[in-house]
Amino acid sequence: MTSKPTLLERAYSLARAGDYADMDLLRRKLKSEGYDAVDAHISGSVVVALRKLIKEARLVGGTPTS
């Protein structure tokens, strides 16, 4: 049985993949996958780190969803 990644693990994975162009889309994706309290967990320094990963992924050829 494979365990579901934590909310933060999944958020970082999505950000690194470059499939989500901004934090709002990333939050919506996490919520659609059934993660709870997304807004409470994705704040402050986590947002800064995720935005950096999103930007880096876009620069190296990710294809963000609009």
| Residues 47-58: tens digit of each pLDDT | 899 989 888 888
CA angle 57, 47, 22 (to 5 degrees): 50
CB atoms within 10 A of CB 53: 20
pTM of the model: 0.77
Tokens of 45: 């320094």
Residues 30-49: tens digit of each pLDDT: 999 999 999 999 889 898 99
